[in-house]
Amino acid sequence: MPNLPRLDSSADTRTSTSRELTGIFTRTWREVSPAHEVVERDLHRTPPPHLPDSALHYAPRLRVDGEQPDPVAEELQKALLAELAAADVVVIGAPMYNWSIPSPLKAWLVLGTTVPFDTREQPLAGKPVVVISSRGAAYAGTPDAGKDHTVPPMVQVLGDSMGMAVSVVTADLTLATRVPAMAPLADTARQNRQAAEARVRERATTLGRASLMRRGTA
């Protein structure tokens, strides 16, 4: 059964662009075959604890004397990692908050032991992950490109550090319908949104079919 964890982190539970796009991703994923499953994890409604102990960042063999993280926190970390390990594909809604990611997503991202530092081991290497970044303004290709601290850290941690195969979908200018001064950008925002939806559908279909092939159930 191809398995997709869907992670949402927007604090907007009614009109969120990233939630709509992760929703389109999961619907398209399920359309690939009746065997395709989804695990919903809402990091806003049920946030993980904010790094209760720095020792959780290190594999147990790399901990120094006296580092004994709370077993409950360690169990949760193991459960989150097991969810990732069991995934065929992961989709993550990552809105831009203050040029960065929402704090519950940051807390989830502390998956420490997956990057052991002392070996080249990358247990999640090659696993596809789709990061959907919604943002009020526009960044790529503008003078503000360097102010996007949402996508680069996600790519750094998931891609460079864990070796996952990261695809990024951005939905820019979402504030064009809320902020009157941005109204002239509404058409561009609509086009951005349509492009983001098309890319989400393409990723879900392509990765969904590839998951079936990998499992030999196609």
Beta-carbon contacts of residue 173 (< 8 Å; ≥ 6 apart): 135, 136, 137, 138, 182, 185, 188, 189, 192
**Around 101, how many Cα atoms within 13 Å sit in the side-chain half-sphere?**
25
Closer of 10 and 167 to ligand FMN (Cβ): 10
Task: Note whether 170 binds ligand FMN by CB under 6 A.
Answer: no
Q: Which of 59, 175, 195, 210 binds ligand FMN (CB under 6 A)?
A: 175
Least Cα distance to 192 among 131, 135, 116, 143 occurs for 135
Least Cα distance to 168 among 194, 147, 150 occurs for 150
Positive or negative: CA dihedral 207, 216, 4, 74: negative
Task: Note whether 127 binds ligand FMN by CB under 6 A.
Answer: no
Task: Note whether 22 binds ligand FMN by CB under 6 A.
Answer: no
Near ligand FMN by CB under 6 A, which window of 23-31, 36-44, 50-58, 128-136?
128-136
Task: Note whether 211 binds ligand FMN by CB under 6 A.
Answer: no
> Which DSSP state fits 100?
B
User: Distance between CA 207 and CA 130 in Å, rounded?
Assistant: 10
Near ligand FMN by CB under 6 A, which window of 16-24, 26-34, 50-58, 73-81?
16-24
Cβ at position 111, least distance to ligand FMN in Å: 22
Task: Note whether 17 binds ligand FMN by CB under 6 A.
Answer: yes
Near ligand FMN by CB under 6 A, which window of 94-102, 162-170, 191-199, 202-210?
94-102
Task: Note whether 48 binds ligand FMN by CB under 6 A.
Answer: no
29 — phi, psi (to 5°)?
-60, -45
Binding site for ligand FMN (CB under 6 A): 10, 12, 16-19, 95-99, 134-137, 174-175
